[in-house]
Structure 1
Amino acid sequence: TLVAPSATRLEVARAYVISKLGWIRDQQAKLLAQARETPRQFIERESHYLWGRRYLLTVIEADTKPAVKLDHRQITLSVRPGTPQAKREEVMQGWYRSQLHAVVPALIEKWEARLGVKVSAYFLQRMKTKWGGCTPATRSIRLNTELAKKPKDLLEYIVVHELAHLIEPTHSERFTALLDGHYPTWREARAELNELPLAAESWDAQES
């Protein structure tokens, strides 16, 4: 999806897209080719990640409301007896979203002040080919829910990246200069993020 200032003429926008098709396809191919996690079954002693740290999953079956709890060594998933894998995954995904919602607003506020921009809304979405997105026309950003599994500094890099698009919608020299000036280690963060595994692809996109 192309996002561009409303004053941009259609033919100019089309010419830009054509000139960048190679780069766009290359970036999508890199994400699609990126290592994938083995599909999770949400069973006892399975490995799961939060903020870059590995935890073993403990599953408790009890006649109580489904919930997820974190302690210093493990993630505990409580579900009703006989809960299918798809429902267990849904509960875990809801928990990951809650972890992101707990930290994203403060990151946005921090970088709104530094970049001199204002975000109208942010959305969490499961995405297969990118870590984030920005729509300057509505001043909203999207973040991949998989970022909850990665180190927090990589989430911050994506937040900075998308907020910078509110100033410069394209990946131009001006955009690169913005990142260089405000987040000098962005290249290292991007490289690290693109080396980490993505989730298995057996899901449909969701937004919240």
Structure 2
Amino acid sequence: MKSQIQIGEMALEVVRKNIKNVHLSVHPPLGRVTISAPIHMELDTIRVFAVAKVGWIRQQQALMKSQDRETLREIINRESHYVWGERYLMKVIESDVAASISLNHKHIVVRVRPAWHEDKKHELLDSWYRLQLAEALPGILRKWEKKIGVQVSGFFVRRMKTKWGSCNPHARTIRLNTDLAKKPRECLEYVVVHELVHLLEPSHNDRFIQLMDHYMPKWQSHRQLLNSLPVRHESWAY
């Protein structure tokens, strides 16, 4: 069941769910605000909660709007691309061989068929980034599952327009954004820990912060690094 409350010029979408606590979210890229609340909680009670969070909401919205955006990529020679935080210059080779992508010193070499359009090249590059992340994740998951004392039933890697990751505590699955393969590895580890901790605490409350401080004392600096780096043209913050 959805409803809406207005605080000044700010509209907040309220979604009632079968939960115990109120959860506030600010969604990129423009800072849309949603509140998940227990089914029987009065709208006036939710409004009081939201008013107390207005300062934090505006802070998050300002961060999202100020985050740098990547220029649109065309998949052409000497275009800059990033892999695990390192910059590579693209080298596009057209030939009648199987399409592939490889790293050669400071170049990302893309081999494509001569007739391929830009969309096809983008699909190839996105698939390659997805593979890099899928190959890196199992080892990182094993490391942090052991430290935190949790275990996921599965993980998914996909392109996500507005999130770095998400967690389904009931199914015990996590989803990670393929673009994390472009960022320094400590950013990936931060997102993995963030989602694994949600298996212990689904909301971003004080207990969640205490758990993050316990298992990854430098998590806030990793988050700051992730949110300071340029993101896709359509994107966000975490």
Q: Show CA shifts across 1:174-200 (max 9, x none).
A: 111111111000010111111100012
Correspondence 1:11 to 2:40: yes
Q: Show CA shifts across 1:31-64 (max 9, x none).
A: 3542110000000111110000000111110111
Report what 1:142 is aligned to.
175
Is contact 1:32-1:129 (8 Å) kept?
A: no
Q: Show CA shifts across 1:14-35 (max 9, x none).
A: 9779846755675466335421
Among candidates 132, 137, 143, match of residue 104 of structure 1: 137
Among candidates 213, 226, 229, match of residue 193 of structure 1: 226
C-alpha distance 181-153 of structure 1, shift in aligned 2 (>3 A) = same
Is the strand fraction higher in 1 or 2? 2
Q: Secondary structure at the match of 2:74?
A: coil
1:102 Cα deviation after fit? 0.9
Is contact 2:101-2:109 (8 Å) kept?
A: yes
- TM-score normalised according to structure 1 size: 0.86
Is contact 2:19-2:39 (8 Å) kept?
A: no
Structure ranking higher on relative contact order (CA contacts 8 Å, 6+ apart): 1
Identical aligned residues as a percent: 47
1:125 Cα deviation after fit? 2.6
Among candidates 66, 72, 94, match of residue 127 of structure 2: 94
- Supply the AA of the counterpart residue of 2:114: P
- Supply the AA of the counterpart residue of 2:156: F
Is contact 1:6-1:137 (8 Å) kept?
A: no
Among candidates 151, 162, 168, match of residue 129 of structure 1: 162
1:130 Cα deviation after fit? 2.2
Is contact 2:81-2:90 (8 Å) kept?
A: yes
Mapping for residues 176-187 of structure 1, pairs under 5 Å: 176-187=209-220
Bigger mean CA offset, 114-123 vs 26-35 = 26-35
Bigger mean CA offset, 127-136 vs 102-111 = 127-136
Report what 2:149 is aligned to.
116
- Supply the AA of the counterpart residue of 2:39: L
Among candidates 151, 168, 187, match of residue 201 of structure 2: 168
Is contact 2:18-2:39 (8 Å) kept?
A: no
C-alpha distance 52-119 of structure 1, shift in aligned 2 (>3 A) = same
Q: Secondary structure at the match of 2:157?
A: strand
Q: 2: CA distance between counterparts of 1:135 and 1:25?
A: 27
Correspondence 1:84 to 2:117: yes
Q: 2: CA distance between counterparts of 1:99 and 1:39?
A: 21
Is the helix fraction higher in 1 or 2? 1
Q: Show CA shifts across 1:153-175 (max 9, x none).
A: 11000000010000000111111
Q: 1: CA distance between counterparts of 2:48 and 2:104?
A: 50
Q: 1: CA distance between counterparts of 2:169 and 2:47?
A: 17
Q: Show CA shifts across 1:62-108 (max 9, x none).
A: 11121101122211000000211111011001000010011111111
Report what 1:206 is aligned to.
none
> Rg bigger for which structure?
2
C-alpha distance 70-133 of structure 1, shift in aligned 2 (>3 A) = same
C-alpha distance 188-121 of structure 1, shift in aligned 2 (>3 A) = same
Correspondence 1:37 to 2:70: yes
Report what 1:151 is aligned to.
184
